[in-house]
Structure 1
């Protein structure tokens, strides 16, 4: 009687696809079990889990295919790889590539891909020509954009990565919030985990941080609480406001260990200028072009004694600029060192930062801070007497700016502007974007820019006396006004207003009273030029004095740079 009851239960579970989760893969992974017993007599090389509609992927001597709960093949085809069914589709690989099949083993669509994922919410991740996008059940892409990575959809939203940044899209391929971060997760109960240059935190569906704090690690919210780890090594739980409500792990006996690690961390930060000067020395000696080479060859070529050269190379090795092949006695560039060879502006940046580090105002920073008002002054870049060094400074700035505005054209609509007035050397990087078509780019700066900096750019320098000769539809200040005091900023904005320019873009780092972002850069600007970064409120106060311009929109370009769109 007991055996009959068991057989009824066993057979019922097999027939009921809702109980597929009760079927387990055996420990040897060669068959399936139900209630601790083999589900069928067959044995395979490897099996996967059962999914609706009651099929499981298996592999044996004949190839890869799917079986039912009786252990029987459900079609005659054989593949190189098979995966589980999701949304009535299973991913497979054969000699032609990747695609999906239906439960009868037939192709679900005609297209072939480099790789495919599993369907979620009737949409699937695919890769073609090393780029990713999503397709529907018929194999057709649901949008035209391509990304470096795309994730599965959950509740109609997916994570996508492009050019080292991440954002969210909806199931039509549209940007959900158009805010980009270093890393992102899918949304869980209305919140997503995100990382920026300051650490991990949570954002809402608008892409905005739900609190200002940053952590070393965060988990998803669970009933309004989330586990986090602080940069001090404390494990705890936070509420929606980012406040630690419970401590899971306190320093206690680990205080001494943590204190020692903090001392090492602080010391490394205090001596960080070593890396600046060591890198600058490597650039001055032209090591990116010379390496790989032996110590002897380098000594002869650089006219540096071997003992002194070994000291320098050992230091560059420690900061991971170079590596050493002991077998060949060969010094070579590390992956970081190669960047200085492959990304030309970085060598110029090394020269520039070495110069920034010796600014006298850094040594009198406390006196500078005690000044109630500080008029802006020329940067060392404008004061530089060496033409070659000045060119290097400006090329470094252009390199950084071009890096930060790669997505400018897709994120900013210039509304058919035919003539654009650019202010400041940073804005010249936009000439790389608008280098085709009939757009006229005009460049204005009180400080003369060396001819070699702009000779290859489609831009026309213009002096103030001739500004009125052109009707401009758009003016762009790119990291320009940050170098000036308020009076000078007001004079520039009045200048564009008087010239009848109806729209202005201010590309700046916007400070926030509740965030540390931009703090170090702001102090560096004060030291270098007497200028400052500003909050959005600061900009609105300035606009009231200018009269006419109003903030139309604020568009994030990176996690530290925004475009303030002013309209007249």
Structure 2
């Protein structure tokens, strides 16, 4: 880096460079200039054309580009005709390839994104460092780079493209002094280079460690400084959330459930947009009380007032009965039989038996069948759509969706893998509706021998409804229904090993079905005891993970 270049800085107006004493470095003026970098060149732009100049303001080369950026490792990123690449100090392309984006070289390595949207790293010759491609990747630091996989989760790789620790997170930062910021479903924390958490707590935000200290924000808005063991060294700000008020809000959660149930039952939301007079007439509600009801729905964020009309918000649209992912039936379920089952929770916790009759009750009530499975179908559309492409299903496979309800997952599988035979099995009262073309429906009982042999068996949010003894019996029937070389695919929410995530869902299952959510180790033990090996756990950005299982040799 030359002394002449060290002496220069961008002028306040950004059109030229100044010396340290304030004198102009040259007479030329540009639309935009950027700082000088070694080997003594600065990017400039004038009338939609970009190039580099020397410290005296003369052109570094004859070539012209759409955009130019600073030199790093002796090369600079440029854009020409919408495509990105790197040039040397004489304006010559470094390689033949062209990209949708390139970063800046650091340690002779650079991030690129190809025209298909895949990210990876290249060296100064333009050669990829490895064969893998990612949804996103960042610069290397301390020998590691963050990469985002196809399901939206992030991990760390080394220069050869190999995973360093094999742990995946919702969000992730580079390593700084041996530790990295990572976000799981429960929140932000710090991890070691082995991918393991440094402490059990999770936060709304964490900063990198600085001389062994990190500033963190808790879920209630407090600011603290912690050490590398997670111990609080000092409190910088008290909580901004009132614990008393928050607990009070938790205790009246049924207000929300019952308000939404009433809105759904009344059909009011299907009539929006409408004004107060129209809704008074169509719902039969007393005008003054209707206004109070609408105020509550507005507080819940499902409606808003535009001029003199009430309209649904984006969130409220899901409560329309004609929405593709309608949740109109959900508040009726949660505010009805499911809520009544929760009232037995104190006795259940003391050892009382759980009435495992909910599925029989649903199947024996035609109206309840429609409402309950409409709700489950919407959850399936929302949660399973991003997971289906990750399933190990091949052309010609026979796929059996066991206890698949009305077949939403079966339909998603058939749509993604059209050269398969997809069967959906459930109680006869459910399967007789046959909602989806291309899906074969089979009446069957989960706890009796299954009427099919398949290459892929799907158990999607089925096992969490049953206790361990019942799950063992389900696995015995699955083994008998699995073709040689086939796989059992278990789709479930996996409880974290640390923290309390999933606790309320687990309690709901205890009260309503007698089942439970489980950790990965718990599922692995049950599968191992039944004669299965878990060959892969696929974690997605949604709540649902996939356990790929094969029979032991």
Query: Same fold, TM exceeding 0.5?
Result: yes
- Structure 1 residues 510 and 132: alpha-carbon distance in aligned structure 2, compared to 1, 3 A threshold: closer
1:227 aligns with 2:215: yes
In structure 2, the partner of 1:5 is: none
Check 1:412–1:58 CA distance in 2 against 1; reply closer, same or farther (3 A cut): same
Residue 322 (structure 1) aligns with: 303
CA contact (8 A) 1:444 1:463 kept: yes
Q: How does 1:368-517 map to 2 (within 5 A)?
A: 368-371=348-351, 374=353, 377-379=356-358, 382-383=361-362, 385-414=364-393, 418-425=397-404, 429-435=409-415, 436-445=417-426, 448-452=429-433, 454-456=435-437, 458-463=439-444, 470-499=452-481, 503-512=487-496, 514-517=498-501
CA drift of 1:26 comes to 3.6
| 307-316 or 202-211, which deviates more | 202-211
Q: Please report how far the alpha carbon of residue 471 of structure 1 lies from its aligned counterpart in structure 2 after TM superposition.
A: 3.4
| Structure with the largest fraction of helix | 1
CA shift for structure 1 position 521: 0.6
Aligned position for 1:42: 27
Shift in alpha-carbon separation, 1:62–1:275, aligned structure 2, 3 A: closer
Provide the rounded CA distance (Å) in 2 between the counterparts of 1:12 and 1:486. Answer: 72
C-alpha spacing 1:542/1:140, structure 2 compared with 1 (3 Å): closer
- Worse-matched range after superposition: 502-511 or 44-53: 502-511
CA distance in 2, matches of 1:202, 1:161: 20
d(CA) in 1 for partners of 2:48 and 2:388? Answer: 53
- How far 1:522 sits from its partner (Å)? 0.6
- Correspondence for 2:110: 123
Inter-CA distance 412–36: structure 2 relative to 1 (3 Å threshold): farther
Question: Alignment length, in residue pairs?
Answer: 539
**Equivalents in 2 of 1:472, 1:21: separation in Å?**
71
Alignment of 1:30-429 (within 5 A): 30-38=15-23, 40-42=25-27, 44=29, 45-60=31-46, 63-79=49-65, 81-93=67-79, 96-100=81-85, 102=87, 103-106=89-92, 117-120=103-106, 121-126=108-113, 131=117, 133-134=119-120, 136=122, 147=135, 150-154=137-141, 155=143, 157-160=145-148, 166=154, 180-204=168-192, 209-222=197-210, 224-241=212-229, 243-249=230-236, 251=238, 258=239, 261-286=242-267, 289-326=270-307, 329-340=308-319, 344-348=324-328, 350-351=330-331, 353-355=333-335, 359-371=339-351, 374=353, 377-379=356-358, 382-383=361-362, 385-414=364-393, 418-425=397-404, 429=409
Per the alignment, do residues 199 and 420 of structure 1 end up closer, same or farther by CA in structure 2, a change over 3 Å counting? same
Deviation (angstroms), 1:526: 0.8
TM-score by length of structure 1 reads: 0.79
Contact 1:81 1:92 in 2 (8 A): yes
- Kept after mapping to 2: 8 A contact 1:475/1:501: no
Cα drift, residue 72 of structure 1: 1.6
Cα deviation for residue 314 of structure 1 reads 2.0
Could you tell me which of 498, 503, 525 is aligned with 2:509?
Answer: 525
Shifted more, 490-499 versus 453-462: the winner is: 453-462
The alpha carbon displacement at 1:201 in A equals 1.6
Counterpart CA distance in 2 for 1:231 and 1:420 is 43
Note the C-alpha offset of 1:492: 1.6
Q: Deviations over 1:263-293 (max 9, x none)?
A: 2322333333333333344444555554333
Q: Deviations over 1:108-156 (max 9, x none)?
A: 5667666654445543344858x56347467788868674x65445445
Alpha-carbon distance between aligned partners in 2 of 1:206 and 1:422, rounded to the nearest angstrom: 37
Please identify, of 474-483 and 342-351, the stretch whose mean Cα deviation from structure 2 is larger: 342-351
Report the Cα distance in structure 2 between the residues aligned to 1:62 and 1:402, rounded to whole angstroms.
47
CA distance in 2, matches of 1:267, 1:466: 47
Q: Deviations over 1:287-315 (max 9, x none)?
A: 55543333333334444444333222222
Partner of 1:4: none
Distance 1:388 1:173 in 2: 54
The separation in 1 between residues aligned to 2:115 and 2:38, in whole angstroms, is 28
- Counterpart CA distance in 2 for 1:163 and 1:322 is 33
Equivalent-residue separation in structure 1 for 2:456 and 2:131 (angstroms): 31
Q: Is the Cα contact below 8 Å between 1:216 and 1:230 reproduced in 2?
A: yes
Could you tell me whether the CA contact under 8 Å between 1:224 and 1:239 is conserved in 2?
A: yes
Structure 1: gaps of 5 or more residues: 1-10, 15-19, 252-257
Measure how far apart 1:524 and its partner are. 0.2
Measure how far apart 1:525 and its partner are: 0.3
1:534, CA displacement in angstroms?
2.9
- Tell me by how many angstroms 1:410 deviates: 4.9
What CA distance in whole angstroms lies between the structure 1 residues aligned with 2:359 and 2:25?
A: 80
Q: Which SS does the other structure have where 2:293 is aligned?
A: helix
